[in-house]
Amino acid sequence: MEKRPELALWKDVPTTWDDTKVVSGLIGEHAIVARRKGNDWYVGGITNNNPQTLSMKFDFLKVGKKYDAIIYTDSPDGSKVLIETKKNITSKSELAFPLLPSGGFAIQLKEK
């Protein structure tokens, strides 16, 4: 259990927030929510029982700032293993997440 990469995210997730944004959502279909603590953001996305690709814009971030993102997504093979990816993100970034049925993703964004 200690070797699961997402445990680092759970350790860092704050319990109180300075801001919350609903990035995207449709009742019964999907939801993407971003929450900020200080200069850092935490984003979570989930889908219903249907596989779908969710696109996400990062226009809620500070313009002109850069962020280090750690992205956790479901494994495409449907196993319980999560995939960890690192990217540089700005307010102009856009990502697409192909999600499995009842799938999701999580992102930790740290301002540089």
Asked, for residue 1, whether it belongs to a domain, the answer is no
Phi, psi torsion values for 3, nearest 5 degrees: -90, 5
Average pLDDT of 21-50? Answer: 96
Whether 54 is covered by a domain: the verdict is: yes
Tell me 92's DSSP state. T
User: What six digits make up the tokens of 91?
Assistant: 């307010």
Q: DSSP assignment of 76-89, as one string?
A: TT--SPEEEEEEEE
Instruction: Indicate whether 16 pLDDT > 80.
Output: yes
71 strand-pairing partners: 85, 107
25 in any annotated domain: yes
Q: What is the pLDDT of residue 6?
A: 63
User: Each residue of 64-102: pLDDT tens digit?
Assistant: 999 999 999 988 887 777 888 999 999 999 999 999 999
> Does residue 42 sit within a domain?
yes
State how many domains the chain has: 1
Would you state the pLDDT for residue 85?
Answer: 93
In a domain, residue 67? The reply is yes
CATH number where 55 lies = 2.60.40.1180
Q: How confident is the model at residue 7 (pLDDT cuts 50, 70, 90)?
A: low
pLDDT of residue 79: 73
Interatomic CA distance for residues 104 and 31, integer angstroms: 9
Domain hosting residue 38, numbered range: 6-111
pLDDT of residue 47 exceeding 90, the answer is yes
What CA–CA distance (Å, rounded) separates 26 from 65? 29
pTM exceeds 0.85 for this model: yes
Contact assessment for residue 43 and residue 106, using Cβ atoms and an 8 Å cutoff: yes
Whether 40 has a pLDDT exceeding 80, the answer reads yes
